[in-house]
Structure 1
């Protein structure tokens, strides 16, 4: 019994060693086959010539853009930085082989072995960006289909409109132009704008993505619509401004004899000035196409607080004035205007009879 088991173990061991040797011997043959295939399909090839069998037939280049992350959006500089990659494929009619003969239906390559189109960013931020040379792996199939996935960080020039800051929405466009070739030679055909692997940004919400194609010159516009997340700015910027605006008129509820009116109004004015200095770093320094509404609100708050300080000083001046001194001409006119306004308010409240009696 034990001898039978031992024979079986030795037999299985020998078979596994034999299969491993055969597998190792097959690997060099497969590698040699792939090398022969690459040498056959690339020998005598000119990668600068369009890959068509008949001159005049256009090459149809289909591609899509997959955006994965928004690095930053600088409203002052007008720069949007996004990460992503393009999926580009076309048919090279000069490449084909029998997959049964070589046992390979496709292979990858990094070198510039075959023709490929050249793309240029139409609206780069900074120097011109050409999408051509890269170190990404390409794949060629036995039927001539070539796939190329260039990836990078793309800096887009995008003019921001911060009129409704921080409740603003921005629309930026990544414009890709097909270089050199016209529509009779190469047809540029966009297929999708993908965001399946998009990582949410901490400041911006991705609202909408779409793409359009312009036939001549061949341009594809990938539009990105963003909406700012406003809660941080509401809690740290807008609510303090509103609170200080509400506090300002309450200075007139203080008794004039207390001597705290001027101190209270100046304290609120200084608080607004300090807050304006602190919040200036959070506001986008843009005046084109229009100033942010929040900047106008801050300026109005400072002007309103300064006016209240002036009114407090004038009112205390009249309150503490010596009664034996004659009233000036301007003071008399001011009192008459106040009486007229008071009568108008009384008449508007339905007190017409009392108004005429006065």
Structure 2
């Protein structure tokens, strides 16, 4: 019985092999026809009417821009910079790149920016990186051209843009950072930028900052050199700091030190009061240094928390000065007392000695 089953399996495989081989050959022929037609269509589009990628599609071209915020990499308040990862979705119409889909139904073809016309876009407030969008060290990002003449360009950028920080309510602050996108080569009458809604659906939440939707935008006209006007789109990203990390490490310790500062006068000895004050001032100095490292050295706003720490340190300095004056005053009083009076009043509190009381409780 086992031999019969093996024989049956061999017969089935023998009859299936030709059909599989035919299917593989048919698939290979279909792929070869697709590649041939794809290559022919690309060459035909580029060769027809001597297509020049340096010439824009029409006298006035509208470029549609839609931004997708992917993640917040870093919002550095000290250097006043914002690092984000953004996907650009750019579309425009080029009537020279149209065709009727053949039997292979090729509806879209990929090109590079060296083969077809592309707008000269850039992030205007980029602090470090310079150059056009969509061009990287490993080569330009390809474009997708469909048979109706629509050119679609999708690429990812990680700009580090300038962001003027407002640290008034630190660490409960909210920062509004602009992102400026513009066309720097063609004036407004040649290429116009049409912004669409800023998309934040795929945004990855940050542990320190929360994005406040929606992202507002403005479409501005910029006057350049020679009287030319250019289009610029400004997006305003608003982020609110999450203070949960600062409450146990900054707010509560500073509050406890502020409450403990007036308790210095509860100590009986002036020397102990002085040591107590110096310890409190040292702790405030540590927190003041921490806050100073987190806020920009030059800013149009003043941090209220820094002002509070500076005021507390001034108050502690006044308490320390008063304590030193009291120590100096009581030292002079002790130096003026004769040895006989000091021996009779060595167990009498100093403020009673100043009023003329002796050690036996009688007034002198």
On whether the aligned pair clears a TM of 0.5, the verdict is yes
1:265 aligns with 2:281: no
Paired residues of 2:186 and 2:230 also in contact (CA < 8 A): no
How many corresponding residue pairs? Answer: 320
- Specify which of 203, 209, 213 is matched with residue 204 of structure 1: 209
- Specify which of 15, 22, 30 is matched with residue 18 of structure 1: 22
What are the superposed Cα offsets for residues 186-243 of structure 1, whole Å, 9 maximum, x if unpaired? 2211112111211112221111312221245311111100111222223222222221
Q: Which residue of 2 aligns with 1:298?
A: 309
Q: Which residue of 2 aligns with 1:46?
A: 52
Bigger CA drift: 267-276 or 1-10? Answer: 1-10
Map residues 122-141 of structure 1 onto 2, 5 A cutoff.
122-126=124-128, 128-131=130-133, 133-134=135-136, 135-141=140-146
Aligned residue for 2:170, secondary structure, equals coil
The alpha-carbon distance between structure 1 residues 274 and 175, as it changes in their structure 2 partners (threshold 3 A), is closer
With normalisation by structure 2, the TM-score equals 0.79
- Specify which of 118, 124, 129 is matched with residue 116 of structure 1: 118
Map residues 301-340 of structure 1 onto 2, 5 A cutoff.
301-317=312-328, 322=333
Q: Which residue of 2 aligns with 1:336?
A: none
Aligned-pair distance for 1:104?
0.8
- Specify which of 78, 95, 102 is matched with residue 80 of structure 2: 78
* Partner Cα distance (1:88, 1:74) in 2: 29
Paired residues of 2:257 and 2:280 also in contact (CA < 8 A): yes
Question: Unaligned regions of 5+ residues in structure 1, if any?
Answer: 327-358
The alpha-carbon distance between structure 1 residues 105 and 267, as it changes in their structure 2 partners (threshold 3 A), is closer
Q: Which residue of 2 aligns with 1:353?
A: none
* Partner Cα distance (1:77, 1:323) in 2: 57
With normalisation by structure 1, the TM-score equals 0.80
Paired residues of 1:117 and 1:132 also in contact (CA < 8 A): no
The alpha-carbon distance between structure 1 residues 127 and 178, as it changes in their structure 2 partners (threshold 3 A), is same
Aligned residue for 2:67, secondary structure, equals strand
Paired residues of 2:68 and 2:87 also in contact (CA < 8 A): yes
Paired residues of 2:79 and 2:296 also in contact (CA < 8 A): no
* Partner Cα distance (2:242, 2:335) in 1: 62
* Partner Cα distance (1:116, 1:210) in 2: 26
Aligned-pair distance for 1:310?
2.0
Map residues 159-178 of structure 1 onto 2, 5 A cutoff.
159-178=164-183
What are the superposed Cα offsets for residues 73-111 of structure 1, whole Å, 9 maximum, x if unpaired? 222322111111210011110111111345311122335
Paired residues of 2:80 and 2:296 also in contact (CA < 8 A): no
Q: Which residue of 1 aligns with 2:247?
A: 234
RMSD: 2.9
Aligned-pair distance for 1:281?
5.7
Aligned residue for 2:31, secondary structure, equals helix
Q: Which residue of 2 aligns with 1:246?
A: 259
Q: Which residue of 1 aligns with 2:360?
A: none
Q: Which residue of 2 aligns with 1:61?
A: 63
Paired residues of 1:118 and 1:132 also in contact (CA < 8 A): no
Aligned-pair distance for 1:267?
2.8
* Partner Cα distance (2:277, 2:80) in 1: 40
